[in-house]
Every structure is written in structure tokens, then in C-alpha cells.
Amino acid sequence: MDISTKCVRAGAKKHDDTGAVSVPIYQSATFSHIGVGESTGYDYSRLQNPTREHLEKLIAAIESGFDAMAFSTGMAAITALFEIFSPGDEIISSDDLYGGTFRYFKNVAEKHGLKFVFVDTSDLKNIEDNITENTKALFIETPTNPMMKITDVRSAAELAKSRGILTIVDNTFLTPYLMRPFDMGADIVVHSGTKFLAGHNDTLAGFLVVNSPPLSEKLRYIYKTTGACLSPFDSWLVIRGIKTLAIRMEKSGENALKIAKFLRSRPEINKVYFPGFEDSDGYLVNKKQASGAGSMISFETVDKETALKILKKVKLILFAESLGGVETLITYPYTQTHADVPADIREARGINEKLLRISVGIENAEDLIEDLKNALEAES
Ligand SMILES: *Cc1c(COP(=O)(O)O)cnc(C)c1O
């Protein structure tokens, strides 16, 4: 079955006899027992809830995974995931990373004795050179946030597997509609469901998806014990969002290519980072492993004043953090999403005061381009 059909129909376990086409919101904290030692399959909503279960089956189906767990946020999912590691374990991570994940690794997880090595994972040699006998996992974002670097997931997972290391992929940017890491050997897929999966900038959510029963068992135990589960209503919102994932990803991807080309044609822009450009560094690898380049664009303006002017003058495009929704958003990674990355590291990675990031939505592309053109040409 094609993924676009799964997005609309998967997870559909029949929950009641009414014939309801939309899965009901089971707004219940607890479930009554038929008798001692008997259960309807539901006991308490921290463990499982029928609405959330529907969503989890849907996510597992579209990622081609064995099990999926729905969390209250992406960060809650990532935090729960790192409970499987022990003090002394080392993790090799992409160095260009979502700011919140970097903050969690450096300021929270390291306190518990985990060690993180940040490398440019787009070059496999950087991974290989940093593997030690304590390395337990590889954490990859591709495209990276915000510099859009591409890592070869298949080669990285192959290398990791040969050394007994878990491969974890944060698939927030491309979603399973464009890339399925399990097909390339990954062990765990992470999502901020807040972004493209939910897709409407109206709820927060996170997912851990695994492709093996032992990992599922381990993480389910942590999941029910630590309790950052997604509410029934938010689960329902994400289910509804995913119904249109395929058409949203198609439309925002088409828009992104048009906008990236427009930005590249402008004298006020130094450089556009977009893996959909045939001459971009990661183009061929991304083309091999994903069916599209997504709808995230970063670009560097000629000077700081131009970047600030764009943020001030855009009207249709909203100056807001987050990404992946139907509304086009623009952010300033330097002071927003990546403010907690130390200044020298930020600069070295190109996250400077001239860098802007756009999450392209599903509005009309010409309207969005017009808005950017007006902002670029406005008096500051
Ligand atoms: C937003 C984001 C996260 C964190 O997700 P929240 O839902 O905001 O907690 C993790 N990874 C990436 C790539 C993200 O964009």
C-alpha cells in the first residue's frame, strides 16, 4: 500500500460499533475492569489509550517500524530515549543539530554521565574516527538544522551496525513521506510530531519509532514509567494532520524549490542552503535516500541589517519559531532556535547574524515570493 493511502487509512483499528469514520477521542484517564485479572486491553491512559494507540499504529505503519510511542513533545521523546543508555556510554551526534536537542545533550544528559561527540556526519570518516569501545549510538539529523547538510543514512547505519552501535535518525524534517530510515538500516526513528506530522502549528507531539521487539519492550517500560505521553485530544489532532501529510509535503516541497530559486537570484542574498538544488553538496545522497528535499530553506543575507529588515518587513510570512506547518514561518536561528549553542560553535557552523531559516508552508508560492520581494526592497 502506498504511503499516501496509509496516511489516510492506517492505524484504523475499529474501536466501537457506531461506524465513526474519525477515530473517537477517548477522553478517559482510566478504564474499568471486567473482573479480577481481566482487562479490556486498556487500564490507565499513561500506559495506553485507544485514541493514542490508533495514532501510534499509524506512525509505525508510515515509518515501516515495529512499534511507535507518542509523547507530549519531541524533546520528551528524545529525553525518554536516552534513558536506555548508562553512565560512560558515548554517543556520536551530528554537530549541526536542533538547538533543543543540543541543549539536552550538553546540559542535561551529560550530567548523567553520557558523553556526546559532535561531528559533521555528512562525512562518514568523521563518524568512523570517533568510534570507541564505549560508543553506543549514532544520532543523525538529515537534512541538518539549520545548515541542511545531508548524511548518507545507509552507509552510516551499515558502519554503526558492524560496530554494534545503534543508529538513531531524527526524521522530523523529511517525514516518512519523503524518507524511511528503517529501510536503510536505522534502529530508532525520532520525530518532533509538532512539525510536519501534525502540520498545523496547533499542537506539540513527539514520537519514538523502533523496528525491533527488544527495543520496543525497553522503551515501553521507560514510556509508562516516566509518563510524558500524548493526550487523547492531541493524539486526535495529529491523526487528523497526518491524513493530509502527503499533499502537504508535495505542495510545500514545490513551493520551497520556487522560493529557494527566487532567493538565489537576489543580490541581497549571499548563499541559499537547500538540498533540492542540484549543485548543493548533499543533493545526490539525498536524492538516493529520499523522494524529495523537503521544505526547509536557510539563507545568508549580505549583512545583518538585511536579515533584520526581512524579519521586520515580511507580512504574509510569520516571524515565529517552529516549522512544518501549513503557515510559512521565518526564524532567526542565531538568537532563537540555536541561541543555546555556544557562540564560537555557532559561528564556525555558519549560524551567524546574517542567517535566516524559512519553513515553507502551503500558501501560493507567488504570494510568498511577493512578500519576500517586498521585504527585500523595503526601506529599512
Ligand atoms: C522541533 C524539533 C525537535 C523538538 O521537538 P518539540 O516537539 O519542539 O519538543 C527535535 N528535533 C527537530 C529536528 C526539531 O525540529
Among candidates 153, 156, 146, 157, which has minimal Cα distance to 171? 153
Question: Among 73, 75, 97, 104, which is best to mutate for testing ligand 1, by the most ligand atoms less than 8 A from CB?
Answer: 75
For atom 8 of ligand 1, the residue with the nearest CA is 74
Give percent above pLDDT 90 in the chain.
92
For atom 5 of ligand 1, the residue with the nearest CA is 74
pLDDT at 336 > cutoff 90:
no
What does each C-alpha distance from 323 to 159, 310, 357 come to in angstroms?
A: 31, 18, 9
Rounded to an integer, what distance in angstroms lies between the CA atom of residue 13 and that of residue 11? 6
DSSP secondary structure letter of residue 135: E
pLDDT at 12 > cutoff 80:
no
Contact in structure between 151 and 122 (CB atoms under 8 Å): yes
Q: Is this model's pTM higher than 0.95 or not?
A: yes
Q: What string of DSSP letters covers 215-283?
A: HHHHHHHHHHHH--BPPHHHHHHHHHHHHTHHHHHHHHHHHHHHHHHHHHT-TTEEEEE-TTSTTSTTH
| Number of the ligand 1 atom closest to the C-alpha atom of 173 | 13
Contact in structure between 249 and 175 (CB atoms under 8 Å): yes
Amino acid at residue number 306: T
Q: Hey, how many other C-beta atoms are within 10 angstroms of the C-beta on 333?
A: 23
- As a whole number of Å, the CA-based R_g of the chain is 21
Please tell me the distance between residue 192's alpha carbon and the centre of ligand 1 in angstroms.
4
Cell of 343: 557562540
Q: Which pairing describes strands 166-170 and 135-141: parallel, antiparallel, or unpaired?
A: parallel
pLDDT interval class at 340 (50, 70, 90):
confident
Burial class (CB in 10 A: 0-12, 13-18, 19+), 361: buried
Q: What is the mean pLDDT of residues 137-160?
A: 97
Contact in structure between 316 and 363 (CB atoms under 8 Å): yes
What does each C-alpha distance from 214 to 69, 187, 344 come to in angstroms?
A: 14, 11, 41
Contact in structure between 296 and 196 (CB atoms under 8 Å): no
What does each C-alpha distance from 305 to 62, 219, 302, 310, 350 come to in angstroms?
A: 43, 47, 8, 9, 17
pLDDT at 330 > cutoff 90:
yes
pLDDT digits (tens, 9 = 90+) for 150-198: 999 999 999 999 999 999 999 999 999 999 999 999 999 999 999 999 9
- Residue 234: CB within 6 Å of ligand 1? no
**What is residue 131's predicted lDDT score, i.e. its pLDDT?**
98
pLDDT interval class at 13 (50, 70, 90):
low
Q: What is the mean pLDDT of residues 355-373?
A: 98
Rounded to an integer, what distance in angstroms lies between the CA atom of residue 158 and that of residue 279? 27
Across the chain, mean pLDDT equals: 96
pLDDT at 16 > cutoff 80:
no
pLDDT at 17 > cutoff 90:
no
Q: Hey, how many other C-beta atoms are within 10 angstroms of the C-beta on 316?
A: 16
- Residue 359: CB within 6 Å of ligand 1? no
Task: Write down the residue that cell numbers 521544505 correspond to.
Answer: 295
- Residue 361: CB within 6 Å of ligand 1? no
pLDDT digits (tens, 9 = 90+) for 289-327: 999 999 999 999 999 999 999 999 999 999 999 999 999
Give percent above pLDDT 70 in the chain.
99
pLDDT at 132 > cutoff 70:
yes
Active-site positions read 46, 98, 170, 195
Rounded to an integer, what distance in angstroms lies between the CA atom of residue 367 and that of residue 365? 5
- Residue 105: CB within 6 Å of ligand 1? no
Q: Which pairing describes strands 329-331 and 90-94: parallel, antiparallel, or unpaired?
A: unpaired
Task: Write down the residue that cell numbers 471486567 correspond to.
Answer: 34
pLDDT interval class at 208 (50, 70, 90):
very high
Residues linked to residue 356 through DSSP beta bridges, in sequence order: 299
> Of all residues in the chain, what percent are helix, strand and coil, respectively (each to 5)?
40, 15, 45
Q: What is the mean pLDDT of residues 237-265?
A: 98
Q: What is the mean pLDDT of residues 61-77?
A: 98
DSSP secondary structure letter of residue 122: T
**What is residue 153's predicted lDDT score, i.e. its pLDDT?**
98
- Residue 100: CB within 6 Å of ligand 1? yes
